[in-house]
Amino acid sequence: MYLKEDQVSKWVKGNASAAEFLHMVINISHVWDDLIDKDKSLEDEAVNQCFFDALVRLPRNEFYRKNFDHLNSIMMNSISNWLIATDMEREGGELQLNIAFILRSSYVDLITQSALLIGGQAWASQVGKEVRKLTHHERYEGYLRTLDEEKKARQAAAR
């Protein structure tokens, strides 16, 4: 999921540092996913920028530093859920894929929790509904089609 600047800014009530944090984390997540799935060709520049962001810019981000204890735990959980979802996708099976469909997008909890830190629980609930609808707009059937395409791309890359 790639988010528009104005949408993220709205969700974090114009907090530029929070918006920058979210854009970095989402971009890093997508590059990591592409590296693991091997379904997209990544330019060296994109990989280099991602690692620079992860190792240099993210730890220096004012919003992340201020809210590190809260956000880092959510980030750890999101990564764990993504790893679990990836394993479940590769195992296959109806139950595993149903679980993985939602579990793999746990990183959007960072958006909801950023909204919570900035605007409180009611705002976080509103943002959470919006971001979940946006994240799962492809629906389960679209997810399965994309998953099948990724599997074929991985198999082709392995040859």
Supply the pLDDT for residue 38: 82
pLDDT at residue 7, as a whole number: 92
Tokens 């981000």 found at: 61
pLDDT of residue 20: 97
Report pLDDT for 13. 98
Which of residues 147 and 126 earns the better pLDDT score?
126
Residue 82's pLDDT band, with cuts at 50, 70 and 90, is very high
Cα–Cα distance between 159 and 139 in angstroms, integer?
31
| Rounded distance between C-alpha atoms, residue 81 and residue 40, angstroms | 22
**What is the span of the domain harbouring residue 142?**
5-158
